[in-house]
Structure 1
Amino acid sequence: MILFFVICLRRKERKEFTTFFIGDGHFKISYAQLLKATNGFSSTNLIGVGSYGSVYEGVLNHGEIIVAVKVLNIEQRCASKSFLAECEALRNIRHRNLVKILTSCSSVDFEGNDFKALVYEFMPGGNLDRWLHPHANGIQDLQRPLKLIKRLNIAIDIATTLDYLHHHCHMQIIHCDIKPSNILLDDDLTAHLGDFGISRILSKVTGRTQNQTGSIGIKGSIGYIAPEYGAGADVSTHGDVYSYGILLLEMFTRKRPTDEMFKDNLNLHCWAEMTLHDGVVAIIDPTLMPMEEEEEAVATIANISGSRTCMRDRVQECLNLVIRIGVTCSADSPWDRMDMKDVVKELHLIRDIYLGVGSQ
């Protein structure tokens, strides 16, 4: 009996340092190291809470490396499947606009409870949701709102990433949860798509899920889920496009799709669509319309000749085109939506129009 107990204890001790590898070259890390890196998973280190766990800021290698540690809530239904889904999705994909995963840990804590965590590169700019929306106390979380060119760049970053996942991976990946809180920004406000916890990996031949990732029932977040998913449709690139369309409308109107103004038959898509014929300025985030000094500065940088009115007209043209893309991408019918490769092309053209590229 004592021998059996000792054997079990040694197995438990070994398990504490088990690491679930994402791919070649990822360093080993233990529960004890993550506990220390996050000050015991302290609330002061907490930087986000999601459906399946919490994210903490951590410091490794004697303060040299700042990381984000996503600790899965194992008691949450499907949390383990979410962990496997994210590991599988990020195993062999590389893109400058994906959040970089450094390693993962599948272990036990000091009380013998299962412990699973993913360790990511830290994004000092926080998530896009914090930039778009004030907190409940009405105080803007960050110093100033994102200007038009920054939002265009972020929109292009995420569109480019989705085009990569949909068309340029060895296996087609459907993210299934495109929303502002899953878009993280670095020091330069370059956007990185994260949280692949409910992603699906599809065969490019059959279009069907190839592993356990397809068994997770959730297909997105309220307000961003494609309407066909509610009718039981299988996941597809069309669903990601719909979510991206809603994201785009939210970015440029600063209205959440779950805003209390949207009820009965009115939603963010319909609200934006109604303004396409008469001009979208009425629904646009007011901070996107340039002040006089900004108009002069942008006109100088872009070498735009003419009056400030010309610059304002150019901005309005760009905003109309962006909202039109958002409305098309969030169409009810999957077949009426754009493909992400076409979205990328259109957004690049809009940015060129704003900057006056080729207008001379």
Structure 2
Amino acid sequence: MHHNNLEGTIPATIGKLYKLQEVGFGKNYFSGEIPSSIGNLTLLNSLWLEENNFHGSIPSSLGNCENLELLHLFGNSLNGTIPQEVIGLSSLSISLNLSRNRFTGSLPQEVGNLKNLVELDVSKNHLSGNIPSSLGDCISLDHLYMDHNIFEAAIPETLSLLKAIEEIDLSHNNLSGHIPKDFANLTLLRKLDLSFNDLDGELPVGGAFSNISAIAIVGNDKICGGIHELQLAKCPKKNPRKKNVSLAFKLVISLVCGILGISLTLSLLIIYWQKKNRKPVHSPWKGPLMNISYGDLLKATNGFSLANLIGEGSFGSVYEGILEPNQAFIAVKVFNLEKRGASKSFMAECEMLRNTRHRNLLKIITACSSVDYQGNDFKALVYELMPNGSLENWLHPQTENEGGGRLTLLQKLNIAIDAASAMDYLHNHSDMPIIHCDLKPSNILLGQDMTACVGDFGLSRILVEGDVQNFQNSTSSIVVKGTIGYAAPEYGMGSDVSTKGDMYSFGILLLEMFTGKRPTDVLFTDGMNLNKFVKMSLPERAMEVVDHDLISKGEEKESSMQTIRVKKLEFLMSILRIGVMCSEESPSDRLQIHDALKELLAIKNFLLKHYGRHKNFQIPRNNIEPGILK
């Protein structure tokens, strides 16, 4: 019964339905307390109560449900402590998600009973105390989220025993002490967020710590060492200074005779000590945040020269550059403040990027709000440079040197999945739902390994308790809700922005990627558009609309090659159907992003499983996600 408009309380009589195995009331408007009679449903294996208005505590009677594999209570107003009977329910094996509530107290040691659990999420609560060392017994965990709580003391060394772990988020707590060195031995770990704690000591090297995009440590000013790219301070020598001074005294006494010699030596030691501990004038770059002046950016981009210009948008221009002294490759988005709405777009993008973090969102280094050498206001955003440019340049290269060649079927599918993952995070997993409002190929950037990142949040909006709010104030002059061809048709009739509008843009993006046609193509006149063009052609005339470059030529001569060609066409039709369903004219008919992402992942999984070794699929091995193969 999930995702409806049901309200009121769940009656206690539900406990009489003792044969129930799955109960789903998620994403409704239920309120009141969770009835303790649910504990009578001893055959229950899945319970979804997420994103309602439940309050009170978790009934300890849930501990009677010894067949329970999945429990989702996130996004409510539940409070109190987490019952030992529930956190220690050893049958939980798929997911236990208690995030975004108001739980207090410590996380019970009984959490170690969850030896078969794959995902544990207790983030965004008010949990305190130490992280229990028994978590190391949860040997099947691959996702652990404990961020935005009040956990303190050191990170338990036992977490290094989680050999299956892929993601750990302990950010925004009060953790202190060293980072366990054995974290570097977690071979499957691809995301480790320890930011905004009070950690210190030497950063381990190896494993995830060798990949700057896999770890986040900002907000821990006492951490030192690590790989060169992080630009952290060097760790001090292991011997304490007092021991060094004592040893120096012994040497002085043994070598120097007389008071004058001793005084001179002590003076030299004091001068050396002061020089060694004097703080540098300019702080080194410690991760993604740094202070940059207008002069720094002017120098990095050769005076914002045309030779460094790599893109232009609605509110400004983007330049590539090399930032000293780190020799970091950057992209600088300079806002044209003479354009109406540019300043507010800058503030919107700053706020958006400050509050989000995802591997498929463009990573920001810093912002610069200053004045130029003529005294004019200057605003710019500084990003990591994406070496493979935008998806726009790959789909529609203007010159032979632009892009880098034709994208294969799997590469395009990977990019579509990356974009869908970013939008799923914005719509469903950020602190508050965020609407991008301008999803299109030029706003999707490609990294060195062709990983796609969604960027340009100058038009983005945030949803607060069902209302659309701008990051700007209510008098914002920005009325544009996207780009022609990608903006949802209801926006043209004055409708408020919504996640459904983003879904239209995503659907058009999919259709453009796999047909090779822009939504503004000259073919689309007299009411015809890209959605209708594809819908009218499926399935009988699919060959007329798909991008023929995705189907290898010259395969008709061999029967086996012809079979592969047919299979490719089947994959393409499945993807195009998803694009059509996402870009339906009526918002209520469109897919939601998590459903579209699920379908795309299923297509990729099937492709790799059955045809992954065939040379004609041209699979780039370095772009296959380990999780999908598993």
Q: Distance in 2 between matches of 1:63 and 1:47?
A: 21
Give the 3 Å change call, closer, same or farther, for CA 25–181 of structure 1 in structure 2.
closer
Q: What are the superposed Cα offsets for residues 292-317 of structure 1, whole Å, 9 maximum, x if unpaired?
A: 58999xxxxxxxxx922322221111
Q: Which has the larger radius of gyration?
A: 2
1:277 is aligned to: 539
Cα drift, residue 25 of structure 1: 6.5
Q: Is the Cα–Cα contact under 8 Å of residues 175 and 240 in structure 1 kept in the other structure? A: yes
1:253 is aligned to: 515
2:580 counterpart of 1:336: no
Cα drift, residue 139 of structure 1: 3.7
Give the 3 Å change call, closer, same or farther, for CA 295–108 of structure 1 in structure 2.
farther
2:187 is aligned to: none
Cα drift, residue 276 of structure 1: 1.2
1:345 is aligned to: 598
* Aligned-pair identity (%): 56
Could you say which structure has the greater relative contact order, defined with CA pairs below 8 angstroms and 6 or more residues apart? 1
Q: Distance in 1 between matches of 2:401 and 2:523?
A: 21
Secondary structure, aligned partner of 1:355: helix
1:68 is aligned to: 331
Give the structure-2-normalised TM-score.
0.50
Secondary structure, aligned partner of 2:419: helix
**Higher-strand-fraction structure:** 2
Instruction: Pick one of 302, 309, 316 that aligns with 2:562.
Output: 309
Unaligned segments of structure 2, at least 5 residues: 1-286, 613-630
Q: Is the Cα–Cα contact under 8 Å of residues 288 and 364 in structure 2 kept in the other structure? A: no
Q: Distance in 2 between matches of 1:201 and 1:40?
A: 35
Q: Distance in 2 between matches of 1:145 and 1:177?
A: 25
Paired residues for 1:1-360 under 5 Å = 26-62=289-325, 64-135=327-398, 139=400, 141-203=402-464, 205-209=465-469, 211-212=471-472, 215=476, 216-291=478-553, 307-357=560-610
Cα drift, residue 120 of structure 1: 0.3
Unaligned segments of structure 1, at least 5 residues: 1-23, 297-305
Secondary structure, aligned partner of 1:119: strand
Q: Distance in 2 between matches of 1:178 and 1:192?
A: 11
Q: Distance in 2 between matches of 1:349 and 1:125?
A: 27
My pick for the range that moved more, 206-215 or 47-56, is 206-215
Q: What are the superposed Cα offsets for residues 82-120 of structure 1, whole Å, 9 maximum, x if unpaired?
A: 001101111121100111000001111011101000000
Q: What are the superposed Cα offsets for residues 212-237 of structure 1, whole Å, 9 maximum, x if unpaired?
A: 16732110001101001011111100
Q: Is the Cα–Cα contact under 8 Å of residues 69 and 120 in structure 1 kept in the other structure? A: yes
Give the 3 Å change call, closer, same or farther, for CA 213–263 of structure 1 in structure 2.
farther
Q: Distance in 2 between matches of 1:255 and 1:41?
A: 33
Q: Distance in 2 between matches of 1:197 and 1:213?
A: 14
Q: Is the Cα–Cα contact under 8 Å of residues 295 and 311 in structure 1 kept in the other structure? A: no
Q: Could you tell me which amino acid in structure 1 is paired with residue 540 of structure 2?
A: D
Q: What are the superposed Cα offsets for residues 185-234 of structure 1, whole Å, 9 maximum, x if unpaired?
A: 0111110000001100111x233316416732110001101001011111
1:14 is aligned to: none
Q: Distance in 2 between matches of 1:129 and 1:145?
A: 12
Q: Distance in 1 between matches of 2:556 and 2:351?
A: 46
Give the 3 Å change call, closer, same or farther, for CA 187–293 of structure 1 in structure 2.
farther
Q: Could you tell me which amino acid in structure 1 is paired with residue 440 of structure 2?
A: K
- Number of aligned residues: 324
Q: Distance in 2 between matches of 1:29 and 1:147?
A: 39
Secondary structure, aligned partner of 1:270: helix
**Higher-helix-fraction structure:** 1
Q: Could you tell me which amino acid in structure 2 is paired with residue 320 of structure 1?
A: M
Cα drift, residue 277 of structure 1: 3.1
Q: Distance in 1 between matches of 2:611 and 2:561?
A: 19
Give the structure-1-normalised TM-score.
0.86
